[in-house]
Structure 1
Amino acid sequence: MVTKLQVTQLKASDFGLNYLTSSHEKVFKFGYFSRNSPSKQKLRFKLVGAQKDRWKLNDIDTNEVDNQEMEDISMAERIIPSGLPNGNLSLAAIVSIEQFSRMNGLSGKKMQKIFRTLIPKTEYDDARNLVEYCCFRFLSRDASDLHPCLKERAFQRLMFITMLAWENPYRDKNNLHAHSLTKSSLQGKLVGEEAFTRIAPAISGVADHPTAHNLFKALAGDELGISLRVWLTYIDELLKVHEGRRSYQICEYPQLSEERVLCVGSSRKRPVLKWENNMAWPGKFTLTDKALYFEAVKFKGRSNAIRLDLTRPGLEVKKVKVGPFNSGLFDSGVAVSSGPGSQTWVLEFVDLGGELRRDVWHASISEIITLHKFLNEYGPDDNDRSLSQVFGSQKGKEKAMTSAINGIARLQALQFMRKLLDDPIKLVQFSFLQNAPHGDLVFQSLAVNYWGGPLVAKATDLKYQRAQGTSPSEPEVEISDHVFDIDGSVYLRKWMSSPSWESKASISFWKHASTRPAVVLSKSLVVADKSLVEKAAAICKQKYQAVEKTQATIDAAKLEGIPSNIDLFKELLLPFTITARNFEKLRRWEEPHLTLSFLAFAYTVIVRNLLSYVFPMALIILASGMLTLKGLKEQGRLGRSFGKVTIRDQPPSNTIQKIIAVKDGIRDVEHILQNLNVTLLKLRTILLAGQPQITTEVALVLLSSATVLLIVPFKYVLAFLLCDLFTRELEFRREMVKRFLAMLKERWLTLPAAPVIVLPFEDEESKSVNQRNQTDKGAIKKNAE
């Protein structure tokens, strides 16, 4: 067991992480020398001092922060062995290991020795695990909602370098002396997605595992990774959001002591409007962790604030279009309701720049609503006595709320940076997981993380109760019934009220949740392995990416324009069209030898009673063809374009031509619908005896057909129908068939359609008035009687 050592407190303003290394016998020494000094002999500050020195960040010249380079560190009194079995440590890895070792109160060399004793050799050889251990060990010592060291620019840069170190822990084997010959500025470095999603969620308040990949996409934008400038800007904006919340809580909302203010909308340039009875009232809108508040601005001043509780079940939030007289002119509204028949808040977030502001508010409100759904479904009741059996479980609800609050803060920070995704819901974990595939697995792992803890021994109480002759108030817990986190924390079986715990995916996940040998610093920080939340989030991410790829193919198939969709439909029906065309050739005896061969085969199947084998054989042939194509495609013998549907684009046209084309297309669709409706109405006339004579004739035909099918074996009926089908185009039957079809067409045209009655339009108000009138008339009649 490693004891915790005394660590100096971080008090920093800025951290110049410009490094210069000198290698000698695989040993690196650190220090900082002035770049402006010609002799480079004058020591500006000690980045890593002697063992007796305190690690002070406020000794750094903040003016040199922005343009410093990663090779301006050279010497100090501590040395770091850089050689590992898999290669030499990269410069970023050495810096990260040494700095976090000092912050943990140890040297880098001592930290390596401790790490070697804690982990198997196979895992120790991976330099990433050493970087993780040094970083996670320091981060695990703080349990605050937002890591306090984030306020220091030095720590921000150190975390960026740690992500670079995790991504590239080894030096380039082909150019071992590159670091001593060239300059590599931090400004040109980019952090990849894998490194960001591993390190960033370990910092309290910066990211969470379920949405870390979406946060990376938002920050990276069109780039291949996250730059130092974007990283520092993101942290600065995040700190501003948290500071703004504290100022709102203290100055403007002292009465909301039991709630935390998250977002306030009261800008005059971009007001928040509440729509009531086709009237829009501007006002001050506030979102807390439990409710919505709206304080309308009336003609005589502000009215009292009204409150909508977000903790009650059944709440729904959705995007709506608003406007006078329900016109829906502006797509900038959000509706919050608790079901049909209840009061609905319709809010408009005015933003002339687009829908960005509305989408952020929608995601924030949705996150709070989904948070309380999560608490009700996966968390124990506040009055549950079993909470006392698990140490720390009383704080589970607060942990979940803090996670949601930090997610909304990150959303606001990205809004200020103008780096949001198309759907901000993807950036807040509870709302994202609600509709994500296998999101319930992540919900379960989060519940275990929030409420799980060590069991509290109650042996003394049980012995006392048995001595008094009374039964214990709480039944003894079967350990096998519970769920355990990676650090041994227990989540009680009686808390598993959600039906998702009984799903096959859930049972399989928790059955195989055991981990390989790793160093567990906390339930969220695991070296050389993933925590349970990370594992569940990885499964969810994999399934979600598969769904996104499928949806991308569906979106690509949705062409714009009626002519293009008609061309695509024709192309998809081409195999069936070719089959029907070839069958028609057989029926018309265009190639007599093929027709005779087909009839010989068909009658052989019928006469020898092989009809029951036709459908299974067709399925076998279809499956064999599919597997053959699969094998050929894997071998690369079908070409890259095989399976793709190709159509010609429509010729260029102006707006008027497009409008005319749409109008013609709508007219054609209308004509098809009219003919279809007429056909259905005529069939309705036959079935409902609209024309008794025709109904009688059709009924007699149906009875005759049923009698024939009951008396004559089916194979003879099928043989007769096949003979009739293939002899219609022969000379001795052609005229007779034409006369018969003409007679059927004439009878069909003379068949009237069922009558259709079109009632005048009635809105809801007129319907209610008519219902009242009818009830009044009924009451008058009863009184008269």
Structure 2
Amino acid sequence: MEEGGDGGGGVKVGMLEGFMRTHQSSLKSLFQRKKSPSGRDGDCSPSAVASPKPIPQLSPLANSVVSRCSKILRAPTEDLQHRFDVELPESVKQLLTYARNFLEFCSFQALHQVMKQPDYLSDQEFRQLTFDMMLAWETPSVTSEQENKDVESPKQEVEDEDGWSLFYSSSTNMAVQVDDKKSVGQEAFARIAPVCPAIADAITVHNLFDALTSSSGHRLHFLIYDKYIRTLDKIIKAAKCSLGPSVACLQLAKGEIVLDIDGANPVLPVLKHVGISAWPGKLTLTDCALYFESLGGSEKAIRYDLSEDTKQVIKPELTGPLGARIFDKAIMYKSILVSEPVYFEFPEFKGNARRDYWLGICLEVLRVQQFIRKHNFKGVQRSEILARAILGIFRYRAIRDAFQVFSSQYKTLLIFNLAESLPGGDVVLEALSSRVARISSDALSDAGSVQYIKWPSKLSPVSLIMLEHFGLSLQTGTNMEEETVIVGDFCVGETSPLEIALKQSILNTNRAEAAQATVEQVKVEGIDTNVAVMKELLFPFVRLGWCIQRLASWENPYKSTVFMLLVSYMIISGWIRFILPSILVIMAITMLWRKQFNKGKEPKAVRVTAPPSKNAVEQILTLQEAISQVEALIQAGNIILLKIRAILLALLPQATDTTAMLMVIIAGMMAFVPLKYLTLMVFVESFTREVGWRKESSDRALRRLREWWFRVPAAPVQLVRSDDNKKKKS
């Protein structure tokens, strides 16, 4: 239907108003506002109900998203564009970024409006809208749409049972729905998804994207995204239901939220080990403690507080029957409040994924509590930090339950665990603490639209507000009114300090992973092969030592004399102290020269002649021989130390007298003779031992020294065997 003149427009507006009044009771979309008691928002204005006018700078999909945002915000697209042009600074209205920044402006406001509803994750239209926002962010303008060869094809409008859709209804047929072939990239997901704290967090959003796209070529499809949101919604609702009778016996504190429960099934219980005793039971994790309940027992649940500073340690551990260390399926808890470490075993048929999951979430709670104590957060700030960690655990559970994806060290979805392992993670936590420090309880009431333009002085506890909307309350008295505007982490066209710190940390992580990949590539098997590689790497130093040894052997008297005179002159003149700095400067110049002239070239591989291959038995014999050699070296070192102890304790009086006299002579020389002359004496004496006229006397002196050393007895050693039988607990 084409638009006519002013009269036609008025008829069209009137028809739409009548349609709205007729179908008002059937508008069941989650995002349709109900009429307030004052009557302010009960009916849409004609301009808000009329078909949104396309914006020429935007692509068809971006126009579709903006039109849906205008319906959520109850404002026509012309008004939104006017506000964007008037209120935002010129830096975000440049020609190249105008379309994308305007799309962010509309999307951020619409999402914050939608998040006031308690059950928006269950709405299919919300999931479709957020996915379309990401797609539109990638191709926001007409030029970007033309450059992208995948031109969206319009689909039929999605309607509810009453024939009306808030997001897709448009008389201009402008709405574009994504087909199965459309997918979203990481940058768009990282920019849009964290605006809703329940879906993603700015710190872990890149890892979340990697988990969602692990099997789809690093592109996110709607079916995967939709499944993730639906699973997340189920987990949040289950957490709300878990606050009922199932945990009544735990006697939770006010505001304590259950994060997960394991072991309720008698077939796969959690085994608690203390000493050699074990009990099957159920393990419950809340935001501040671990609870263990024995199955079939009438004892009160044992509480292990994670919020207090009691030198607590949680780490993976081996367990087994009767205290044997066999199965790698347990976590160990230790603190100054428990007399003996407690082990929680998570039996499963293969692997240790169940244990790794519980290890991750327990460490996350422990670390978030440590973070709170470190920065002394109280009240709403403390609750915001806890809410952020809780939502992270829910997202971790959703990925685990929906896709069976388990994260690695640098790819975890848990915020504080990631910061612990991430290069520069402490900088990320500092940026997070600065963000939380700007949160105050009165930020809920004085926030306006300014948060889309510049960073406000006060921010809202967005994660805490999300939990309260879902019915999970951490703190009383933080009720958000219907008209409250959420002041989030994102501003249009700008990068937050948290994002800046995270990008630098991710860059360092990529470098660390690339470096680790090269380490894995150069690892070789076999002792003899590793020895061959080490010999090749140490060859320059070995060759230098060999050259010095040849000079000291006086095979070529002319070269040896020149070397001795040169070094002696350097010692006397004091130049010897410049040798090490000169070597360092020469090495630095060489490295910079290689950097300049070898730029872009592949590094030369170290060529190592591999030793003959050996079978398994020969490898074992080689290993046994190497161990025997190491043992012999350790024994020789112990004998030297014991003989020195014997001399110090005067077990052989003659050796003690000789050593004491020699030490007095050396002390006197060091006190009265300049150091350079002492150095010269030591160098000349050691360098001229192989000279013909000194060789016989030097050999005789070394022989007498060895004979004297052999006559020195070793100090006695008494081995005391410890009692390996531990006290058994009943």
* TM-score, with structure 1 as normaliser: 0.71
- In the TM superposition, what are the counterparts of 1:360-759 in structure 2 within 5 Å? 360-381=357-378, 395-416=380-401, 417-423=403-409, 426-434=412-420, 436-451=425-440, 453=442, 486-489=455-458, 522-542=487-507, 561-606=526-571, 609-611=572-574, 613-636=575-598, 639-641=601-603, 647=608, 653-759=614-720
| 1:640/1:243 CA distance change after superposition, 3 Å | same
| 1:701-750 deviation per Cα after TM superposition (whole angstroms, max 9, x unaligned) | 33333444455554444444444344333333333322332232233333
| 1:278/1:138 CA distance change after superposition, 3 Å | same
Q: What's the offset of the Cα at 1:619?
A: 0.8
Are residues 1:217 and 2:203 paired?
no
Q: Residues 452 and 490 of structure 1 are in contact (CA less than 8 Å); yes or no, is this contact kept in structure 2?
A: no
Q: Residues 288 and 305 of structure 2 are in contact (CA less than 8 Å); yes or no, is this contact kept in structure 1?
A: yes
Alignment match, 2:55: 81
Are residues 1:153 and 2:136 paired?
no
Counterpart of 2:210, as a letter, is: K
| 1:766/1:165 CA distance change after superposition, 3 Å | closer
Alignment match, 2:309: 313
Q: What's the offset of the Cα at 1:584?
A: 1.5
Are residues 1:135 and 2:107 paired?
yes
Q: What's the offset of the Cα at 1:282?
A: 1.7
| 1:329/1:703 CA distance change after superposition, 3 Å | same
Q: What's the offset of the Cα at 1:447?
A: 2.5
| 1:709/1:176 CA distance change after superposition, 3 Å | closer
Q: Residues 180 and 221 of structure 2 are in contact (CA less than 8 Å); yes or no, is this contact kept in structure 1?
A: yes
Alignment match, 2:476: none
Q: What's the offset of the Cα at 1:205?
A: 0.6
| 1:452/1:168 CA distance change after superposition, 3 Å | farther
Alignment match, 1:516: none
Q: Distance in 1 between matches of 2:613 and 2:652?
A: 52
Pick from 333, 337, 345: which aligns with 2:330? 333
SS in structure 2 opposite 1:240?
helix
Q: Distance in 2 between matches of 1:539 and 1:108?
A: 37
| 1:369/1:112 CA distance change after superposition, 3 Å | same
Q: Distance in 1 between matches of 2:410 and 2:567?
A: 61
**Alignment RMSD:** 3.8
SS in structure 2 opposite 1:284?
strand
Alignment match, 1:273: 271
RCO higher in 1 or 2 (8 Å CA, sep ≥ 6)? 2
Are residues 1:226 and 2:212 paired?
no
Q: Residues 425 and 431 of structure 1 are in contact (CA less than 8 Å); yes or no, is this contact kept in structure 2?
A: no
| 1:404-463 deviation per Cα after TM superposition (whole angstroms, max 9, x unaligned) | 221111111111121121249932223433563324403413422544655999xxxxxx
| 1:204/1:438 CA distance change after superposition, 3 Å | closer
Q: What's the offset of the Cα at 1:137?
A: 0.8
| 1:164/1:648 CA distance change after superposition, 3 Å | farther
Q: What's the offset of the Cα at 1:543?
A: 5.2
Q: Distance in 2 between matches of 1:179 and 1:550?
A: 37
Q: Residues 180 and 222 of structure 2 are in contact (CA less than 8 Å); yes or no, is this contact kept in structure 1?
A: yes
Q: Distance in 1 between matches of 2:18 and 2:509?
A: 51
| 1:94/1:749 CA distance change after superposition, 3 Å | farther
| 1:429/1:585 CA distance change after superposition, 3 Å | same
Q: Residues 363 and 425 of structure 1 are in contact (CA less than 8 Å); yes or no, is this contact kept in structure 2?
A: no
Q: Residues 319 and 345 of structure 2 are in contact (CA less than 8 Å); yes or no, is this contact kept in structure 1?
A: yes
Alignment match, 1:322: 319
| 1:572/1:118 CA distance change after superposition, 3 Å | same
SS in structure 1 opposite 2:332?
strand
Alignment match, 1:761: 722
Q: Distance in 1 between matches of 2:455 and 2:151?
A: 42
Q: Residues 59 and 145 of structure 2 are in contact (CA less than 8 Å); yes or no, is this contact kept in structure 1?
A: no
Q: What's the offset of the Cα at 1:528?
A: 1.3
Q: What's the offset of the Cα at 1:617?
A: 4.8
More divergent stretch after superposition (222-231 vs 424-433): 424-433
Q: Distance in 2 between matches of 1:456 and 1:440?
A: 27
Q: Distance in 1 between matches of 2:670 and 2:87?
A: 82
SS in structure 2 opposite 1:335?
strand
| 1:347/1:425 CA distance change after superposition, 3 Å | farther
Percent sequence identity over aligned pairs:
28
| 1:618-677 deviation per Cα after TM superposition (whole angstroms, max 9, x unaligned) | 3144224313422431332694315x6554566655444443333222222112211221
Pick from 258, 263, 280: which aligns with 1:261? 258
More divergent stretch after superposition (537-546 vs 134-143): 537-546
SS in structure 1 opposite 2:722?
coil
Q: Residues 147 and 204 of structure 1 are in contact (CA less than 8 Å); yes or no, is this contact kept in structure 2?
A: no
Q: Distance in 2 between matches of 1:671 and 1:157?
A: 71
| 1:137/1:680 CA distance change after superposition, 3 Å | same
SS in structure 2 opposite 1:728?
coil
More divergent stretch after superposition (289-298 vs 337-346): 337-346
| 1:595/1:654 CA distance change after superposition, 3 Å | closer
Pick from 93, 99, 103: which aligns with 2:72? 103
Counterpart of 2:289, as a letter, is: A
Q: Residues 132 and 178 of structure 2 are in contact (CA less than 8 Å); yes or no, is this contact kept in structure 1?
A: no
Alignment match, 2:35: none
Alignment match, 2:188: 195
| 1:504-558 deviation per Cα after TM superposition (whole angstroms, max 9, x unaligned) | xxxxxxxxxxxxxxxx972423111133443444455455556656666666677
Q: Distance in 1 between matches of 2:411 and 2:340?
A: 25
Q: Residues 274 and 340 of structure 2 are in contact (CA less than 8 Å); yes or no, is this contact kept in structure 1?
A: no
Counterpart of 1:372, as a letter, is: Q
Counterpart of 1:630, as a letter, is: L
Q: Which runs of 5+ in 2 are unaligned?
A: 1-14, 31-49, 155-176, 447-453, 461-484
Q: Residues 410 and 418 of structure 2 are in contact (CA less than 8 Å); yes or no, is this contact kept in structure 1?
A: no
SS in structure 2 opposite 1:313?
coil
Q: Distance in 2 between matches of 1:197 and 1:82?
A: 27
Q: Distance in 2 between matches of 1:51 and 1:545?
A: 56
| 1:473-532 deviation per Cα after TM superposition (whole angstroms, max 9, x unaligned) | xxxxxxxxxxxx9311289xxxxxxxxxxxxxxxxxxxxxxxxxxxx9724231111334
Q: Distance in 1 between matches of 2:607 and 2:76?
A: 64
Q: Residues 367 and 430 of structure 1 are in contact (CA less than 8 Å); yes or no, is this contact kept in structure 2?
A: yes
Q: Residues 439 and 458 of structure 2 are in contact (CA less than 8 Å); yes or no, is this contact kept in structure 1?
A: no
Q: Residues 192 and 224 of structure 1 are in contact (CA less than 8 Å); yes or no, is this contact kept in structure 2?
A: yes
Q: Which runs of 5+ in 1 are unaligned?
A: 1-48, 61-75, 84-88, 382-393, 458-484, 492-519, 768-785
Counterpart of 1:438, as a letter, is: V
Q: What's the offset of the Cα at 1:225?
A: 3.1
SS in structure 2 opposite 1:115?
helix
SS in structure 2 opposite 1:530?
coil
SS in structure 2 opposite 1:106?
coil
Q: What's the offset of the Cα at 1:208?
A: 1.1
Are residues 1:112 and 2:105 paired?
no
Q: Residues 322 and 328 of structure 1 are in contact (CA less than 8 Å); yes or no, is this contact kept in structure 2?
A: yes
Number of residues of Structure 1 aligned to a counterpart in Structure 2: 625
More divergent stretch after superposition (127-136 vs 272-281): 272-281
